[in-house]
Structure 1
């Protein structure tokens, strides 16, 4: 594996990479909200259910990323001792 590819893989697990992942996940909220508004206007219950499942996925993904960030913080504190 090249050095650049190795750096890219390391970035994904870095604190900055985690924050970038949270930001991109939150951009998904915009599209989900728009879909929810359109579904409500049309009275489409199946589309509303799909939006609810999508929103749950976004919330779960962000929660997992936040947990990983907290673990990185914990690991950093232990490494300083």
Structure 2
């Protein structure tokens, strides 16, 4: 199965959505700590790791798109 390349705008929107999800994870972390609920805390940490990985993958995709153009995120 081939992966359809995203546009830059679509990638930026995906990053924005992931960052918006980070607000929810931060709330979940705070509530789990306040209630001393270890299972919910582990769930929040795993969710945060998934968000961080997703954002890193999207940033890498943007860097690859910008390689030819010398954009802000290129190496």
- Which runs of 5 or more structure 2 residues have no equivalent in the other structure? 71-75
Shift of 1:76: 4.3
**Structure whose alpha-carbon radius of gyration is higher:** 1
Mapped pair 1:30 → 2:23: yes
The whole-number CA distance in structure 2 between the counterparts of 1:20 and 1:28 is: 12
Tell me which moved more, 66-75 or 19-28. Answer: 66-75
The whole-number CA distance in structure 2 between the counterparts of 1:60 and 1:37 is: 21
- Which runs of 5 or more structure 1 residues have no equivalent in the other structure? 1-9
Q: Deviations over 1:36-75 (max 9, x none)?
A: 1111111001111000000000000000000000000114
What's the RMSD between the two structures over aligned residues?
Answer: 1.6
Query: Which runs of structure 1 show a deviation greater than 4 angstroms over 4 or more consecutive aligned residues?
Result: none
